[in-house]
Chain A
Amino acid sequence: MSDLRELYQQVILDHNRNPRNFRELPAATRRVEGYNPLCGDHYTVYVALDGDQIRDVSFTGNGCAISKASASVMTSTVKGKRTDEAQRMFDIFHKLVTGENAGLSEAELGRLAAFSGVSEFPARVKCATLAWHTLNSALDGQEEVVSTE
Chain B
Amino acid sequence: MTAIETRSTNRGPRTARYDVERIRKDFPILHRTVRGGKPLVYLDNAATTQKPQAMIDRIVRYYAEENSNVHRGVHYLSEVATAAYEEARGTVKRFINARSEKEIVFTRGTTESINLVASSWGRQNVRAGDEVLISAIEHHSNIVPWQLLCDEKGAKLRVIPVSDAGELLLDEFAKLLTKRTKIVAFGHASNALGTINPIRKMIAMAHANGSIVLVDGAQGVPHLTVDVRELDCDFYAFSAHKVYGPTGAGVLYGKEALLDAMPPYQGGGDMILSVSFEKTTYNALPYKFEAGTPNIAGVIGMATALDYVSSVGLPNIAVHEQDLLTYATARLREIKGLRIFGTAAEKASVISFTLEGVHPHDIGTILDQQGIAVRTGHHCAQPLMMRFNVPATGRASFGLYNTREEADALVAGLHKVVEVFR
Contact = CB atoms under 8 A, between A and B. Distances in A.
Q: Tell whether A and B belong to one assembly.
A: yes
A82 B157 CA distance: 50
B384 to A, nearest CB: 13
B333 interface: no
Contact of B359 (A4, A7, A64, A123): A64
Contact of A121 (B358, B365, B391): B365
Interface in A74-122: 121
Nearest to B35: A3
A126 to B, nearest CB: 10
B377 A38 contact: yes
A13 B376 CA distance: 20
Interface string A1-13: 1011101100001
Nearest to B363: A64
The majority secondary structure among interface residues of chain B is: helix
Interface string B339-364: 00000000000000000001111100
A62 B391 contact: yes
Given A40-B378, A42-B391, A62-B391, A4 B362 contact: no
Residue of B362, B377, B385, B391 with most partner-chain A CB within 10 A: B362
B352 to A, nearest CB: 14
Given A13-B421, A40-B391, A65-B421, A3 B369 contact: yes
A39 B380 CA distance: 11
B30 interface: no
B361 A4 contact: no
Nearest to B376: A39
Contacts of B98: none
A40 B369 contact: no
Contacts of A8: 362, 366, 420-421
A63 B421 CA distance: 15
Interface residues of A, number: 23
Contact of B369 (A1, A62, A63, A66): A1
B377 A65 contact: no
A129 B132 CA distance: 41
Contacts of A121: 365
A123 B391 contact: no
A7 B377 CA distance: 20
Contact of B377 (A5, A13, A39, A68): A39
Interface of B: 358-362, 365-366, 369, 376-378, 382, 385, 391-392, 416, 420-421
Nearest to B357: A17
Given A8-B420, A13-B421, A65-B359, A40 B365 contact: no
A5 B135 CA distance: 42
Contacts of A15: none
9 contacts: A3-B369, A39-B377, A40-B378, A41-B361, A64-B359, A65-B359, A65-B421, A66-B362, A127-B361
A5 B421 CA distance: 11
Given A39-B376, A39-B392, A65-B358, A7 B421 contact: no
Contacts of A63: 359, 361, 391
A64 B252 CA distance: 39
A20 interface: no
B377 A40 contact: yes
B394 to A, nearest CB: 12
A55 interface: no
A59 to B, nearest CB: 16
B366 A4 contact: yes
B280 to A, nearest CB: 41
A118 to B, nearest CB: 10
Contact of B361 (A13, A37, A42, A64): A64
Chain A to chain B: the 5 pairs with minimum beta-carbon distance, closest first: A40-B391, A64-B361, A64-B359, A40-B392, A39-B361
A123 B365 contact: yes
Nearest to A123: B365
Given A5-B420, A39-B377, A64-B361, 18 more contacts: A1-B416, A8-B366, A8-B420, A8-B421, A37-B378, A38-B377, A39-B376, A39-B392, A40-B377, A40-B385, A42-B391, A62-B359, A63-B361, A63-B391, A64-B360, A65-B362, A66-B361, A121-B365
A5 B416 CA distance: 12
A3 B34 CA distance: 14
A15 B358 CA distance: 13
Given A40-B377, A64-B359, A124 B365 contact: yes
A145 B365 CA distance: 26
Nearest to A39: B361
Contacts of A64: 359-362
